Amino acid sequence: MTLAQEFPGTRVRVPGKINVFLEVGAAQDDGYHELATAFQAVSLIEDVVAMPSDDFTIEVVGSVDVSGVPQDDRNLAIRAARMLAAEAGYDGGVHLSIRKEVPVAGGMGGGSADAAGALVACDALWGIGSTQQQLHALAARLGADVPFALAGGTAIGMGRGDELSPALARGRFDWVLVPNDEGLSTPEVYRELDRRREAHRADIGPAPERPSVDPAVLQALRAGDPRMLAGAIRNDLQAATLSLRPDLAAVLEFGESAGALAGLVSGSGPTLAFLAEDPSHAEQLARELRRAGHDAITAYAPVPGARLV
């Protein structure tokens, strides 16, 4: 019997993400903000294994601190599995075993990646055979970033971030990621952005009526040119994140003075992302950051979305 025959489960690898551009519009009636973003999937990978079970259970380990991850029904991956089962009329369960590389509550879509992984792994385990479209619809119900974790690569996200269209990107972009022990709540960061826009009307422009991705970002991605991208990256959530976590500003400045082409808060943070020239520049930058006492992980983008291995 081969190893593949002995293994009764399915295994999916799913990437984390960086928003290389994020423009946030006004809050809608449902509380979500309309946005325009450019995602790239990065080489920090969540490994999701689904094993046959009568119940829905989960265990989470990882190379990052996973102490904040709920290991019960609150976990988005379990909610994903339950949603797929309900949708498909499947009456069994699953045991999910997740190994995380993406920093937890860090603004890099780790929880969303786990949910996307659970959808693909359970779909295969249970022999459901959902179409990409069906999986995308479930993903969008689970969270704004879940569809991108399915898709991977480089994409533009509109609406809540879940209306995806692929974007052309050449070559690879090298990043150094600096996670932080204290996670941030995404809703809290959006609320802080709204508060700042209201309280500092004279200094901060109003929410754009129709958010759009700066064409310079698309051009830089198409050209595969990190210097060009460095001049175009932007994150509207950054000021709100730094207002909640002023300690991060010094780290951003340190990374930039240590030679990063640019630094930005990843998504709602608190993970910081520094763009490097190439792999060796990323390694050098990571060493400098570590010497200054920061955790630093090198990664590259883009990589594929959720896929069975």
Binding flag, residue 77, ligand C5P (CB under 6 A): no
Q: Which is nearer to ligand C5P, 31 or 205 (CB)?
A: 31
In degrees, rounded to 5, the angle at the alpha carbon of residue 218 between the alpha carbons of residues 214 and 222 is 165
Nearest to 307 by CA among 168, 136, 151: 151
- When binding is defined by CB under 6 A, the residue of 22, 69, 94, 144 that contacts ligand C5P is 144
Strands (E), 66-198: 93-100, 154-158, 163-166, 173-178
Taking the mean position of all CA atoms in its chain, how far away is CA 159?
Answer: 17
> Strand 56-62 to strand 93-100: parallel, antiparallel, or no bridges (unpaired)?
parallel
- Residue 100 falls in the annotated catalytic set: no
Name the residue nearer to ligand C5P (CB basis): 54 or 188. 188
31 binds ligand C5P (CB under 6 A): yes
Closer to ligand C5P by CB, 103 or 255: give it: 103
In 3D, which of 35, 45, 56 has the Cα closest to residue 11?
A: 45
Contacts of 180 (CB under 8 A, 6+ apart): 103, 106, 245, 248, 269, 270, 271, 272, 295
* Residue 187 in the binding site for ligand C5P (CB under 6 A): yes
100 touches ligand C5P by CB under 6 A: no
Q: Tell me how many residues contact ligand C5P (CB under 6 A).
A: 12
197 binds ligand C5P (CB under 6 A): no
Among residues 123, 145, 162, 236, the one annotated as catalytic is 145
- 145 catalytic per annotation: yes
- Of 10-18, 138-146, 163-171, 242-250, the segment contacting ligand C5P by CB under 6 A is 138-146
Q: Name the token pair of 106.
A: 């860090």
32 binds ligand C5P, rule: CB under 6 A: yes
C-alpha dist (Å) from residue 42 to 31, 255, 295: 28, 19, 17
190 binds ligand C5P (CB under 6 A): yes
- Residues near ligand C5P (CB under 6 A) are 31-33, 35, 143-145, 160-161, 186-187, 190
Active site residues: 17, 145
